[in-house]
Amino acid sequence: MPAKENIALMRRWFQEVWNEGKIQTVHELCHAEGLATGHFGAQSQICGPKEFIPFVERIRRAFPDIKTTIEDAFGARDKVVVRWSASMTHTGEGFGPPTGKPVQLTGMTIVRIVKGQLVQGWDNWDQLGMLQQIGAYKPPEDVILAKSA
């Protein structure tokens, strides 16, 4: 597929999967053995819709009002890069009990698309920032003191 079509496919992915919670889109656009890296940490990997869908469900359960915005998207040949932001509220179970706290975060996603399906993906998003914003993680005191010195 030309880069323009691949970019449109990624816009659809973010809109339908993340903003609308359409799980069927994951089945349609993610290759059965598509490999995603970085969703639970730098080296974590999940494979295909079977493993990706529980990830989507966990995020959407904890943050049912998630709204992603594509800030930039560009592609070449079979790869697309998306710089995105998300706003959401921690009102559901997941990542600890619901706190009602708002969360703003950013991330970047790179995907390789073959025949209209995502076959590889690499994500880098502010997981630590999300946990800090909902109060699930607090930096050690010595880190805080070092910053203010």
Q: pLDDT per residue over 71-125, tens digit each?
A: 999 999 999 999 999 999 999 998 899 999 999 999 999 999 999 999 999 999 9
C-beta separation of 68 from 95 below 8 A: no
Architecture per CATH, 3-148: Roll (3.10)
Residue 149 has pLDDT above 60, yes or no: no
Instruction: Report the C-alpha gap between 13 and 116 in whole angstroms.
Output: 11
CB atoms inside a 10 Å sphere around CB 98: 16
pTM (predicted TM-score): 0.88
pLDDT at residue 146 in the model: 59
The rounded percent of the chain whose pLDDT value lies above 90 is: 82
Q: What is the largest CA-CA distance in the chain?
A: 54
Please enumerate in sequence order all residues whose Cβ is within 8 A of that of 23, keeping only pairs 6 or more positions apart, or say none. Answer: 17, 53, 56, 57
